[in-house]
Structure 1
Amino acid sequence: MVSLVGVTPRCALHPEVEAGGTCQRCGGFVCEECSTWVMGVLYCAACSLRPEVNYLETFRLKLWGRRDTNAWLVGVGTLGVLAGVLTALLQGAWPMALVLLGAAVVGGAFYLGQSWARTALVFTPVVAGVAGAAMFGPALLVGGFLLFVTALQIFLDTRNRLFFRVDVSEKELRRLWDLRVNNPMARHALSLGFTTFIFPVLGPVAVVFGLIALRKVDSRARPPIGKGWQAVAGILLGVGGTVLWLLLFGPLVKGFLERLPA
């Protein structure tokens, strides 16, 4: 847009105020009051609310308060713990029944999204492991430690934190978005490319997936579509794995066919 000489650009919404910049999406002039920065890019107020512009916020709201895989696994595990409580009661092992009941309460609260249960889940394996070791021997400490490590990983998981409505940084949110949303076809192509070295029939599939993913790559789109290197790697691995199998087994197949009676 070319402005007339001597004419100062004015804000589209506030004509009496000089513009301090232009929206990177629609090109409209904006003043300081109307300027909205989204991930380091200047937009007007209307464009900043569009889901393709503020795609990380749209992604966050989509997952906010929704159960993730870990919540469902804890919920299923809680049912198993409740079965253990019933077994312990039938056998008259009241101390163990109380320990398992406490673990079941924490697991149920975790599944329901109670904030206190997120921290309690980390310490529950420690308490259960120490109590189990006191009653049945130190071997249960190993199981308690392994469950503690698993619970700690769940506690730190970005997706699970969104389920509990815990704020996460833009960097963590971008990493999760990149893993789940950003050109998943490229990731599938890479996985299939590696699998080709075990199952060569998947080689052509890896190549097709990689070509489709590569065509989608557009770093200037909103949201940006990347992972071109994964698409290329999937193609190369798919071709390489197929060629390797042909070189290894091609002569064997040829010799077998030559020995067949005419």
Structure 2
Amino acid sequence: MSAEVPSGALPRCALHPDALAGATCQRCGSFVCTECTTWVMGRMYCPACAVRPEVNYLEAFRLKLWGRRDASAWLVVGVTELLLFLALGALMAGTFGLALAFLASAGVGLAFFLGMRWARLGLLAVPLLAMLLTALSTGAPALMFFVPLMVAVNIFRDTRSRLFFRLEVPERELRRLWDLRVNNPLARHALSLGVGSLLLLVLTPLLSLLGEGFVLSFLFMAMTMAMAMLALVLGAVALRRVDPEARPPIGRRWEALGAMGLALASLTFGFMLHGQRLVELLGVAVD
């Protein structure tokens, strides 16, 4: 025999007391009814928590970059200034056709910097047209325009650039950009330092083979040890920060561990290979 629960004892929605609660907010624990339940990235929240930036962190990240110029826009405007100088030089030389081409390309660059969406395609068209016109005039495509074409393609596909032009991007790409820029950057910096310390460790013996002075050798070894120790410290701090359940989640555990492993390897092999040499250099420096 089961006892019936009085209707007054059943949980009620915090915003609609007349409605029975169907779930609880995964952030604050408030009861929510079906109408109030808000799903954000696979989790249930109340309406108040759902709009908080730490909950919908991808949306907050998107809004932060929405319509803001990125590095590619400044790169394009720098090239635009160069094209204007080239156009001026072409006018002074009397090659008006070339000057017109430079001015048209500069116009595309200026439109790109101002955020006009058609300029994204124009940025691709400029090197393609340059290659085509060069091929028609000389009989062979100008490979010098291949690198600008590849740069234009990368800018066109770049998620950050699309956010500057206020274009919607898939959540998967937005998450990848957030992970690259925001998610536990200490781990990424520590890994870079760990790799750098290993590279310096490899380069240090070459100085002895090349007959370089003890000062340069000492500096290289000191830089190797300093980078390795810094990578070890930053990797340990980054590892302590890892919390996949946090909002937003903090990851890069393996990068932090990799940085610490590389740092320990650099310190170990550095002392094994160059410990005696380091003592000798210190003795010379003291004398």
Q: TM-score, normalised by structure 2?
A: 0.84
Alignment of structure 1 residues 128-147 onto 2, 5 Å: 128-135=130-137, 138=140, 140=142, 142-147=143-148
**Aligned equivalents of 2:97, 2:127: Cα separation in 1:** 16
Residues 26-51 of structure 1, C-alpha deviation per residue, up to 9 Å, x if partnerless? 11111121111110101010000111
Preserved contact between residue 81 and residue 104 of structure 1 (Cα < 8 Å): yes
Preserved contact between residue 244 and residue 251 of structure 2 (Cα < 8 Å): yes
Q: 1:244 aligns with which of 269, 278, 283?
A: 269
Read off the aligned partner of 1:233 and give its amino acid letter. Answer: G
Q: 2:120 aligns with which of 107, 118, 127?
A: 118
1:258 deviates by 9.2
**Aligned equivalents of 1:138, 1:177: Cα separation in 2:** 43
1:88/1:40 CA distance change after superposition, 3 Å: same
Runs of 4+ in 1 over 6 A off after TM superposition: 255-260
1:86/1:45 CA distance change after superposition, 3 Å: same
1:251 deviates by 3.7
Preserved contact between residue 131 and residue 141 of structure 2 (Cα < 8 Å): no
Alignment of structure 1 residues 19-38 onto 2, 5 Å: 19-38=21-40
Preserved contact between residue 183 and residue 227 of structure 1 (Cα < 8 Å): yes
| Partner in structure 1 of residue 224 of structure 2 | 200
User: What are the ranges of 5 or more consecutive residues in structure 1 without an aligned counterpart?
Assistant: none
1:252 deviates by 3.8
The two structures, once aligned, show a CA RMSD in angstroms of 2.1
1:98 deviates by 1.4
Q: % of aligned pairs identical?
A: 51
Q: TM-score, normalised by structure 1?
A: 0.91
User: What are the ranges of 5 or more consecutive residues in structure 2 without an aligned counterpart?
Assistant: 201-222
| Partner in structure 1 of residue 149 of structure 2 | 148
1:42/1:258 CA distance change after superposition, 3 Å: closer
The number of aligned residues is: 257
1:152/1:18 CA distance change after superposition, 3 Å: same
Alignment of structure 1 residues 6-17 onto 2, 5 Å: 6=6, 7-17=9-19
**Aligned equivalents of 1:157, 1:124: Cα separation in 2:** 18
**Aligned equivalents of 1:259, 1:28: Cα separation in 2:** 70
Question: Is 2:168 the partner of 1:167?
Answer: yes
**Aligned equivalents of 1:48, 1:195: Cα separation in 2:** 42
